[in-house]
Amino acid sequence: MRALGAEVIEHGRDFDEARAEAARLAARDGLHWVPSLHEDLVRGVATYALELLEALPNLRRVYVPIGLGSGICGMIRTRDLLGLDTEIIGVVASGADAYAQSFEQGRLVQTERADTLADGMACRQPQQLALDMIRAGAARIVRVDDEAIRAAIRVYHEDTHNLAEGAGAAALAALMQERECNAGQRVAVVLSGANIDRLALAELLRDEVAAA
């Protein structure tokens, strides 16, 4: 981004603090604020859901990672518009489970920390709009720990030759965790990103080689 001339400001200890600072700067300086759960963003993300569900309309269920919620909200909206009965299951990291707690308690629950290698899912402060859509349209939310996420990253790398970041591999981690109940069924997982830290990837690959 800096190479393209953007001013990049690093702020706070995590995503939620950086997001709050971005909103503050936008209000102070009269800048256009694009929140992480913008309606246009949900529509845009929903295009991959449309491609998936049109190609495989007879899916039993699909696992979707949850960061701030745009991906799963787009999946829910698309599924409903297509009139399908595909079960949608959200996935969060065990160390960053604010959305799972909120889903279970029926209210916004903020956590003090979000500790996970899946930084794309490190959310402490859920959004009401997303929570409402998830509670209305998702079957449940599954928690996966970092070791399960690491295992899924390795599976993607070794078996399918795909590069997955932590959040991108979380849905596969959930499927692997629930392999028995999915046996014989048509199930999809969302691989949502490949933005993995180089050092983290190198460590994972060293572990993979050592285990071989």
Phi-psi region of 111 (alpha: psi -120 to 50; beta: other; left: phi over 0): beta
The confidence score (pLDDT) of residue 209 equals: 63
The confidence score (pLDDT) of residue 210 equals: 63
Nearest-angstrom CA–CA distance, 18 and 137: 29
pLDDT in tens, the chain (212 residues): 999 999 999 999 888 999 999 999 999 999 998 888 888 989 999 999 999 999 998 999 999 999 999 999 999 999 999 999 999 999 999 999 999 999 999 999 999 999 999 989 999 999 999 999 999 999 999 999 999 999 999 999 999 999 999 999 999 999 999 999 999 999 999 999 888 888 888 888 777 666 66
The confidence score (pLDDT) of residue 180 equals: 95
The correct answer on CATH 3.10.28.10 for the domain covering 39-211 is no
Question: pTM (2 decimals)?
Answer: 0.91
The confidence score (pLDDT) of residue 37 equals: 83
User: Which of 34, 36, 132 minimizes the C-alpha distance to 77?
Assistant: 132
Nearest-angstrom CA–CA distance, 107 and 205: 40
Backbone angles phi, psi at 99, to 5 degrees: -70, -35
Task: Give me the residue spans of the domains in the chain.
Answer: 1-33, 39-211
Nearest-angstrom CA–CA distance, 201 and 209: 12
